[in-house]
Amino acid sequence: MSDELNGINADLAHLARLAIAEQPDDVRLFVARLVRKYRNANPQLAAQMDQYLRANTARGHNPLRKADIHQAQPNQQLPLDDESRLSLLKAFNFETKFEQPILSKEIEESLNQLIQERRQSTRLISLGLQPTRSAIFVGPPGVGKTMTARWLAEQLNLPLYILDLTAVMSSFLGRSGSNLRAALDFAKKRKCVLLLDEIDAIAKRRNDDTDVGELKRLVTVILQEVDEWPSDGLLLAATNHPELIDIALWRRFDLIVNFGAPDNPATKEAIKRFSGQDYGIFERWIDILAFVFAGESYSNIEREISRIRRSIAIGTASDTDLIENIIKIRSISLPKQEKIKFAVILASQTRLSQHAISDITGVSRDTIRKYKSEQIVTTQ
Ligand SMILES: Nc1ncnc2c1ncn2[C@@H]1O[C@H](COP(=O)(O)OP(=O)(O)OP(=O)(O)O)[C@@H](O)[C@H]1O
Ligand SMILES: [Mg+2]
């Protein structure tokens, strides 16, 4: 096959990939590149594509299409990976109000301080101090790191950009350093919050047999940027593998925020929030559910609650059956002493008979009675 035909095939395949992935902005950019590429060799084809592009841009100004409003601003052209034409950054703007995540007191305090520092930055700077410019969010999956970054950007009234590490690193490795730099440069020039989400993806790759030198360069790029980040912007990073983060990188961040699974009151608040208008159904189970969900992430709790709500809505089973079932599953995995504690909570906080509780937990009625009376004595 001739080189020319090979080239056309590759362009066609690439265009198909972008179109199927529903990335209209990337499709437009790629077509623009094709127009330039084919202008000399095939002016008719180039003119036709150019015409499609123009027709489409005009539609992009339709004020009802939110995503396009953002893209329509010329200075908002997001940086791309040259080879894949994928956006290196994803932009978020906040036309809809974003709900505040449920946060522990400590996190709330440190984020409030960060927000206040921003609001009073002139004062800080006049005293020779810099407001917090960078922070790293650490914690297991599903506890609100990404969500908090979005909320924080909204509180600061700044646009949020999230670095797409897959796009940065999807091209052949030699380009990832310059991709990363392009993305960081873009964000640095704007007053914005930049989130380097799941930053351990860079660190993790060190264990693969990919080019270690290249990965080191990536970390170095970030290191330099953390130090030089402008004080009217905010650089955030998030990870659930702190142990994989380069120690030198770690030290550079102004603030470290540790996220964790919700404690008991926060679990109850989460159940309340996620059960929405069905809270009436969940309320009487709240203590039991909080016990059942102990140690679970917010996103797991959300998923379970939504599953129950859906089952209730379509009439698969009653709330009692569904929740008893969850209790049963949870109770099987508990060690003996915990099982007893659980059975006693069930006996004192639900209307379940001791017989039913014994069935569910496998703890004998005698044991339940014994521990329950002991509990009453000790709490008096
Ligand atoms: N603190 C929270 N308060 C309320 N909802 C939460 C909270 N944390 C997580 N959720 C729910 O779980 C979803 C996922 O959370 P998020 O993406 O912020 O987790 P994450 O910590 O970034 O996880 P990962 O490490 O997997 O990226 C959120 O969209 C939200 O619905
Ligand atoms: Mg996340």
Per-residue model confidence as pLDDT tens digits over 103-131: 999 999 999 999 999 999 889 989 999 89
- Asked whether residue 92 is domain-assigned, the answer is no
Mean pLDDT of 358-380: 80
Residue 323 in contact with residue 285, Cβ under 8 Å? yes
Global confidence as pTM: 0.75
Whether residues 296 and 187 fall in one domain: no
Mean pLDDT of 52-57: 70
Q: What is the mean pLDDT of the chain?
A: 83
Residue type at 220? T
Q: Ligand 1 centre and the CA of 282: distance in Å?
A: 21
124 or 375, higher pLDDT: 124
Q: How far is the CA of 38 from the centre of ligand 1 (A)?
A: 46
pLDDT score, position 1: 60
Question: pLDDT-derived band of residue 17, with 50, 70 and 90 as boundaries?
Answer: confident
Residue 18 is assigned to a structural domain of this protein = yes
Q: What is the pLDDT of residue 366?
A: 93
Residue 176 sits in a domain of what CATH number? Answer: 3.40.50.300
Q: Whose CA is nearest to atom 19 of ligand 1?
A: 142
- The verdict on 130 and 198 lying in the same domain is yes
The reply to whether 245 and 275 lie within a common domain is no
Q: What is the DSSP string of 91-154?
A: EE--SSPPPPPP--HHHHHHHHHHHHHHHTHHHHHHTT-----EEEEE-STTSSHHHHHHHHHH
One domain for residues 320 and 240: no
Residue with CA nearest ligand 1 atom 26: 141
Residue 89 lies in a domain: no
pLDDT value at residue 142 = 96
Print burial letters for 149-174: b (CB count within 10 Å at least 16), e (below 16): bbbbbbbbebbbbbbbbebbbbbebe
Tokens for 90? 């994803």
In a domain, 94, yes or no: no
Are 132 and 177 found together in one domain?
yes
Q: Closest ligand 1 atom to the C-alpha of 197?
A: 27
Ligand 2 centroid to residue 16 C-alpha, Å: 29
Structure-model confidence comparison of residues 66 and 19, the more confident one: 19
pLDDT at 139 over 60: yes
Q: How far is the CA of 63 from the centre of ligand 1 (A)?
A: 31
Does residue 61 sit within a domain? yes
98 has a pLDDT exceeding 90: no
The pLDDT assigned to 73 comes to 44
The residue whose C-alpha atom lies closest to atom 13 belonging to ligand 1 is: 299
Both 194 and 139 in a single domain? yes
Pocket test for ligand 1, best of 198, 298, 302 (most atoms within 8 A of CB): 298
Structural domain total, the chain = 3
Which residue among 199, 228, 258 closes a domain? 258
Determine the distance separating the centroid of ligand 2 and the alpha carbon of 300, expressed in angstroms: 14
Is position 83 within any domain? Answer: no
- Tokens 């009675």 sit on residue: 369
Gap between the Cα atoms of 211 and 176, Å rounded: 11
Q: How confident is the model at residue 245 (pLDDT cuts 50, 70, 90)?
A: confident
Q: Is 36 exposed, middle or buried (0-12, 13-18, 19+ CB in 10 A)?
A: exposed
Q: Is 137 in the pocket of ligand 1 (CB under 6 A)?
A: no
Q: What is the pLDDT of residues 170-204, one digit of tens each?
A: 656 567 788 888 899 999 998 999 999 988 777 65
114, 249: one domain: yes
Q: Is residue 90 part of a domain?
A: no
Residue 283 lies in a domain: yes
Mutate to test the pocket of ligand 1, among 90, 98, 143 (most ligand atoms within 8 A of CB): 143
Please tell me which residue, 78 or 375, carries the higher pLDDT value: 78
Residues 203 and 289 in one domain: no
**104 pocket-lining for ligand 1 (C-beta < 6 Å):** no
> Does 135 lie in the same domain as 50?
no
Range of the domain at 296: 264-379
The last residue of one of the domains, among 258, 289, 307, is 258
- My answer on whether 39 and 145 are in the same domain is no
262-311 pLDDT per residue, tens: 999 999 999 999 999 999 989 988 988 998 998 999 999 999 999 999 99
109 with 252, same domain: the answer is yes
Q: Which ligand is nearest to the CA of 301?
A: 1
The reply to whether 63 and 110 lie within a common domain is no
Among 207, 232, 258, the domain-final residue is: 258
Which ligand has the shortest distance to the CA of 145?
1
Ligand 1 contact via 298 beta carbon (within 6 Å) = yes
